[in-house]
Structure 1
């Protein structure tokens, strides 16, 4: 794998870089040598954050975790990526067969039963009424959820507002095209 390790509000020392690469070697059995891996290490106040992103063929595997000790959370972030790989292996394999930036052949030889892993446990239906983003945020807060689906009053498109970990809000808008 090709590593790109960056730091935000933290100096990426050789020791820290070696620790990250050492832990990421656990993922070598899943990917080939050309797979890019981006690691962002950052510090916000007393919180250390590691984000591992592995983009390939339009798909993105991403693991993010925070904690008080950067060295301690590296294992957790790698474990998140590994769970995603194993859980979605068969589906990802069908989409990326024959591509040079792909999974390692040894990993592809083992089958996992992903039918049980991707099971819808509950289904909800609700009417979507037109509203603006502020009303959608208020509705989300009133029902106590971390996201809310609504139809934008201006564009008539279905949008999603969500609450981010840092307490701010995000908006997902479709791109028509």
Structure 2
């Protein structure tokens, strides 16, 4: 697994990087050698946020936590990632057919919640090409947390969403 580090308003020490590699190493059995992990550490008002995103074969796992100490935040993030993987074990096993046995060793059966059936409601919405700013306005008028639209500049389907810190995010498709 390739790990990249990004530090915002903070200096990362080598012992934090070593701890990060040690904690993420337990997930290497699940992912291929081509997996990419991104670790972002941000300092904001004496609080440290650690965000870890792991991408592999179209799967994306992401966790974020804010604590007074970055090591504590890293511990929480690794726990969150582990819970996400246990919860999605069955679906992951199907995608990782060759690594199913390793996955079962890493995540024992007694820790696994029963696979849940998803209750899915289908809704159709009219989509017309609009700018990102107009999509944000429409999302706010509907009082939704996200809005699907066709970007007038790129002619592709995009999603705008509200982030925790009262900013907005834009999801754009990318082929891999």
**TM-score, with normalisation over the residues of structure 2?**
0.70
Question: What runs of 5+ residues in structure 1 fail to find an aligned partner?
Answer: none
2: distance between equivalents of 1:123 and 1:114?
24
Q: How many residues align?
A: 171
| Alpha-carbon distance, 1:113 to partner | 6.0
The alpha-carbon distance between structure 1 residues 175 and 79, as it changes in their structure 2 partners (threshold 3 A), is closer
The alpha-carbon distance between structure 1 residues 121 and 75, as it changes in their structure 2 partners (threshold 3 A), is farther
Could you tell me whether the CA contact under 8 Å between 1:31 and 1:104 is conserved in 2?
A: no
The alpha-carbon distance between structure 1 residues 167 and 108, as it changes in their structure 2 partners (threshold 3 A), is closer
2: distance between equivalents of 1:67 and 1:144?
30
1: distance between equivalents of 2:69 and 2:174?
39
Q: Deviations over 1:55-106 (max 9, x none)?
A: 333323221122333233223211210111101111112112226xx95451
Question: What runs of 5+ residues in structure 2 fail to find an aligned partner?
Answer: none
Q: Secondary structure at the match of 1:11?
A: coil
For the pair 1:69 / 2:69, whether they are aligned, the reply is: yes
For the pair 1:137 / 2:133, whether they are aligned, the reply is: no
2: distance between equivalents of 1:176 and 1:13?
35
Residue in 1 that maps onto 2:54: 54
What does 1:110-125 align with in structure 2 at a 5 Å threshold? 110=109, 112=112, 115-116=115-116, 118-120=117-119, 122-125=121-124
1: distance between equivalents of 2:83 and 2:165?
25
Q: Deviations over 1:13-49 (max 9, x none)?
A: 3554565466x27x72x54296765433221333311
The two structures, once aligned, show a CA RMSD in angstroms of 3.7
Return 82-91 or 8-17, whichever deviates more: 8-17
**TM-score, with normalisation over the residues of structure 1?**
0.70
Return 103-112 or 55-64, whichever deviates more: 103-112
Larger RCO (CA under 8 A, 6+ residues apart): 1
Return 69-78 or 105-114, whichever deviates more: 105-114
